[in-house]
């Protein structure tokens, strides 16, 4: 659970203003040899995929991912500019971003230093004398965002979201999730063998002799396996009831008695108030391991986690070994990303609202923000009409659903108030030190310092240069960073069919997350609190079961198919999102006449826009990893899945009953 890679997006913005004609769907991307009623994924973007192979450093590719890489080109313009000078005022956005990025780009220095920057911490781990030292070292790693074997961050209280509390969560695994340690299929066995070799290689790079490195890798694996055995699986982790364990500080001390919580909380400057423990069973295992695992083995484990967490900050040898396992083997990429892209991503992860401020100034005009706000409000209104018109829901539950919809808080583009990073001591001298200082600020000042205080509803969980969006059920907010509000997803010069069919469906998707199998468990105030009558809840669950069943039957290889329960929330989001974006588009059509394009009706263009924005080509390894652990279905099924349930789609393309893209009436899913 280290920092996750954010996905950036946009195309060159000036194209939006350069010419006045309206942009439409990409007719050249269509595969006209395919039948839209048989395989709409292939039909809508097959030619583009055939002509645009996945770049060596990527694991999937489409116009959407291409736009993400173009956003990095835009960030590079900003980063090259601010890092070309060293005389910015201290604490300014330019100094912070320029020094961080500049030190990251100093590859010669990073390579010359090799393992040296990690040595003080490795020596301190080696020097630990007892359990108290071990706990101090766990705290020190947490300060750097290396949350092992568990983590502690701020979170809104499930039962009173206006208050921010501590959330203690399970972590500490080097493989993607628990199943990789436990499942017996050959592909998981192979992943374990490759993982052991990777851990061994990292120890060798850190100076271990061959035999010791091999033994150390085994030690790491055995400890992680015990943690994995006591962790929730990916499906259980999506169930808010299973991770909701409000606990008093006194009870935490009883639950995990070996850990000295008073010391930790006081060092972290966190008040000992009520908190949440996501996985009590896991924490009981941590307690057992603190008592039973030898100090020698803990030293090995913490050294590995330090090297693993900081591999990207060390010399090429570490970077390449890390890529060989996580990038090439697990994700299928052929090449490491160029250094400048990795440095741009890392700057965004640690200083995202400083870089984001510059990005928004240069690439996100107010006009785009205003237009996006109008679209969100039109799609919220389509959701309102949809809820009102539901035949299966009682008036009592409808009232609650509408109440929840009325409290939605849309956030568009960038935060009203920017984070102030000026206290972070950054300079050009050491990438390692900069990384530590920035990571520490993000943990201490941007997470721990919020615990025990009223929730700040102005905060953002994604940075403006992130090409993505999210729904947060506790704050009932839908959030669209500037970088996703860019062509081809959103273009102030595009026809409505393109905007509603791409970003409109994304907006509908995020709104629908408020009413998916997870979101529907949170009320208008963001509390984990049932607002459904028993009968309506039963009817809702049988409707969502239809979607889970549908995705259970989507295969990527013989014997490997989606796990319907894992991808349920995202699939409900796509299904309802496409429906309400379509309804909002119908209203737009009444207001402005919509052009036909190359013989395609406006409704056909709407669906093609979704197929062209959402569909992608993905490497087989990446696809396997997604199907195992990602709550998102692969893009092919995010096109085929929802559209094959929508009668509006089959009408638009005059598809016959019995076509692959028209699910039979008895199998057709409709949740909202
Ligand atoms: Zn989603």
DSSP track, 423-459: TS---SS-HHHHHHHHHHHHHHTTTGGGTTSB--TT-
- Nearest by Cα to 390 from 553, 228, 186, 576: 576
Residue 3 has pLDDT above 60, yes or no: no
Q: Per the structure block, which two tokens stand in for 341?
A: 């892209």
What digits encode the pLDDT tens for the residues 124-150? 999 999 999 999 999 999 999 999 999
Whole-angstrom distance, CA of residue 176 vs CA of residue 327: 12
Q: What percentage of the chain has pLDDT greater than the value 90?
A: 96
Cα(300) to centroid of ligand 1, in Å?
38
Cα(93) to centroid of ligand 1, in Å?
31
Cα(510) to centroid of ligand 1, in Å?
6
Give the model's pLDDT for residue 212: 98
**Which secondary-structure segment (H or E) carries 163?**
strand 160-170
* Total length of the chain: 672
Q: Count the helix, strand and coil residues of the chain and give each as a percent rounded to the nearest 5.
A: 55, 10, 35
Residue 661 has pLDDT above 70, yes or no: yes
C-alpha distance from residue 331 to each of 220, 233, 326, 617, 625 (Å): 22, 20, 6, 13, 7
**Parallel, antiparallel, or unpaired for β 160-170 and 275-277?**
parallel
What digits encode the pLDDT tens for the residues 93-105? 999 999 999 999 9
Cα(218) to centroid of ligand 1, in Å?
37
What is the arrangement of strands in the sheet containing 160-170, beginning at the earlier edge strand?
150-157, 160-170, 275-277, 246-247
What digits encode the pLDDT tens for the residues 462-520? 999 999 999 999 999 999 999 999 999 999 999 999 999 999 999 999 999 999 999 99
The single-letter DSSP state of residue 185 is S
Cα(117) to centroid of ligand 1, in Å?
39
Whole-angstrom distance, CA of residue 618 vs CA of residue 59: 6
Give the model's pLDDT for residue 11: 30
**Parallel, antiparallel, or unpaired for β 60-61 and 150-157?**
unpaired
Whole-angstrom distance, CA of residue 650 vs CA of residue 662: 6
Cα(504) to centroid of ligand 1, in Å?
13
Query: Is residue 17 very low, low, confident or very high in pLDDT (cuts 50, 70, 90)?
Result: very low
Average pLDDT over residues 200-224: 98
Cβ neighbours for 383, distance < 8 A, ≥ 6 positions apart? 405, 508, 511, 512, 576, 580, 672
The answer to whether 516 and 567 have CB atoms below 8 angstroms apart is no
By the 10 Å C-beta count (0-12 exposed, 13-18 middle, 19+ buried), 34 is classed as: middle
- Nearest by Cα to 557 from 107, 4, 187: 187
Cα(614) to centroid of ligand 1, in Å?
12
Cα(548) to centroid of ligand 1, in Å?
15
Residue 49 has pLDDT above 80, yes or no: yes
Cα(598) to centroid of ligand 1, in Å?
32
Backbone dihedral angles phi then psi of residue 43, each to the nearest 5 degrees:
-60, -45
Give the model's pLDDT for residue 8: 28
Whole-angstrom distance, CA of residue 283 vs CA of residue 523: 29
The vertex-156 CA angle with 155 and 160, nearest 5°, equals 150
Give the model's pLDDT for residue 22: 81
Cα(513) to centroid of ligand 1, in Å?
7
Whole-angstrom distance, CA of residue 36 vs CA of residue 656: 11
Query: Is residue 2 very low, low, confident or very high in pLDDT (cuts 50, 70, 90)?
Result: very low
Whole-angstrom distance, CA of residue 603 vs CA of residue 617: 25
Average pLDDT over residues 105-131: 98
Give the model's pLDDT for residue 369: 95
Cα(140) to centroid of ligand 1, in Å?
34
Cα(13) to centroid of ligand 1, in Å?
26
C-alpha distance from residue 656 to each of 35, 259, 659, 661 (Å): 12, 64, 6, 9
Choice among 3-17, 164-178, 300-314 with the minimum mean pLDDT? 3-17
Residue 14 has pLDDT above 60, yes or no: no
Backbone dihedral angles phi then psi of residue 407, each to the nearest 5 degrees:
-100, 5
What is the arrangement of strands in the sheet containing 477-481, beginning at the earlier edge strand?
409-413, 477-481, 470-472
Residue 651 has pLDDT above 70, yes or no: yes
The tally of CA atoms less than 13 A away on the side-chain side of residue 309 is 28
Cα(147) to centroid of ligand 1, in Å?
25
Cα(464) to centroid of ligand 1, in Å?
18
Residue 73 has pLDDT above 60, yes or no: yes
Q: What percentage of the chain has pLDDT greater than the value 70?
A: 97
Longest dimension (CA), the chain: 76
Give the model's pLDDT for residue 637: 98
Cβ neighbours for 485, distance < 8 A, ≥ 6 positions apart? 364, 368, 369, 372, 412, 413, 503
Cα(629) to centroid of ligand 1, in Å?
14
Cα(17) to centroid of ligand 1, in Å?
31
Cα(209) to centroid of ligand 1, in Å?
46
In this structure, what is the dihedral angle of CA atoms 229, 235, 241, 242, given to the nearest 10 degrees? Answer: 0
Average pLDDT over residues 661-672: 97
Residue 437 has pLDDT above 70, yes or no: yes
Average pLDDT over residues 373-399: 98
Cα(573) to centroid of ligand 1, in Å?
6
Average pLDDT over residues 51-63: 98
Average pLDDT over residues 565-582: 98
């Amino acid at each position: 659970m280290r920092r996750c890679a954010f996905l950036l997006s946009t195309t060159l913005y000036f194209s939006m203003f350069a010419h006045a004609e309206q942009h439409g769907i990409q007719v050249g991307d269509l595969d006209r040899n395919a039948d839209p009623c048989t395989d709409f994924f292939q039909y809508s973007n097959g030619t583009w995929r055939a002509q645009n192979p996945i770049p060596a450093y990527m694991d999937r590719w489409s116009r959407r991912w291409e736009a993400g890489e173009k956003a990095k080109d835009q960030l590079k313009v900003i980063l090259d500019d601010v890092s070309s000078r060293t005389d910015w005022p201290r604490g300014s956005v330019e100094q912070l971003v320029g020094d961080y990025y500049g030190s990251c780009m100093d590859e010669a220095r990073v390579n010359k230093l090799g393992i040296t920057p990690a040595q003080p911490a490795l020596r301190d781990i080696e020097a630990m004398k007892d359990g108290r030292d071990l706990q101090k070292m766990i705290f020190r790693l947490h300060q750097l965002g290396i949350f092992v074997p568990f983590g502690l961050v701020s979170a809104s209280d499930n039962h009173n979201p206006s208050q921010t509390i501590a959330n203690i969560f399970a972590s500490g695994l080097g493989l993607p999730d628990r199943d990789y340690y436990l499942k017996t299929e050959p592909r998981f066995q192979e992943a374990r063998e490759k993982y052991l070799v990777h851990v061994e290689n990292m120890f060798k790079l850190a100076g271990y002799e061959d035999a010791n490195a091999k033994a150390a890798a085994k030690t790491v694996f055995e400890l992680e396996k015990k943690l994995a055995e006591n962790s929730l699986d990916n499906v259980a982790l999506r169930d808010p009831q299973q991770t909701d364990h409000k606990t008093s500080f006194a009870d935490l001390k009883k639950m995990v008695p070996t850990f000295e919580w008073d010391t930790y909380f006081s060092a972290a400057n966190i008040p000992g108030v009520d908190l949440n423990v996501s996985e009590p069973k896991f924490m009981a295992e941590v307690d057992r391991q603190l008592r039973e695992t030898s100090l020698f083995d803990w030293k090995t484990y913490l050294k590995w986690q330090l090297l693993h967490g900081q591999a990207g900050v060390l010399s090429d040898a570490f970077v390449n070994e890390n890529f060989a396992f996580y990038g090439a083997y697990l994700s299928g990429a052929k090449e490491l990303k160029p250094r400048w892209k990795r440095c741009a991503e890392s700057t965004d992860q640690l200083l995202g609202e400083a870089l984001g401020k510059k990005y928004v100034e240069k690439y996100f005009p107010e006009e785009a923000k205003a237009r996006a706000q109008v679209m969100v409000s039109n799609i919220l209104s389509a959701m309102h009409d949809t809820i009102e018109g539901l035949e299966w829901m009682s008036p009592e539950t409808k009232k609650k659903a509408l109440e929840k919809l009325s409290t939605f808080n849309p956030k568009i583009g960038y935060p009203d108030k920017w984070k102030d990073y000026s206290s972070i001591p950054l300079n050009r001298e050491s990438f390692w030190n900069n990384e530590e200082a920035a990571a520490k600020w993000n943990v201490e000042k941007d997470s721990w310092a919020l615990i025990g205080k009223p929730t700040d509803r102005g905060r953002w969980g994604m940075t403006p240069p992130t090409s993505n969006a999210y729904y947060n059920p506790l704050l009932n907010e839908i959030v669209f960073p500037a970088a996703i509000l860019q062509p081809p997803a959103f273009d102030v010069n595009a026809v409505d069919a393109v905007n509603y069919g791409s970003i409109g469906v994304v907006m509908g998707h995020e709104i629908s997350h408020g009413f998916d199998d997870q979101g529907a468990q949170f009320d208008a105030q963001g509390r984990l609190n049932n607002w459904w009558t028993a009968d309506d809840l039963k009817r809702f669950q049988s409707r969502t079961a239809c979607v889970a069943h549908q995705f259970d039957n989507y295969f990527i290889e013989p014997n490997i198919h989606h796990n319907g329960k894992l991808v349920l929330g995202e699939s409900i989001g796509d299904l309802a999102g496409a429906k309400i974006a379509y309804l909002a588009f119908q209203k737009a059509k009444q207001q402005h006449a919509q052009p036909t394009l190359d013989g395609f009706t406006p409704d056909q263009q709407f669906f093609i826009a979704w197929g062209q924005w959402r569909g992608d080509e993905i490497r087989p390894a990446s696809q396997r990893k997604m199907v195992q652990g990602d709550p998102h279905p692969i893009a092919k099924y995010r096109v085929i899945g929802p559209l094959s349930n929508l009668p509006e789609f089959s009408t638009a393309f005059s598809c016959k009953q019995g076509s692959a893209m028209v699910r039979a009436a008895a199998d057709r899913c409709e949740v909202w």
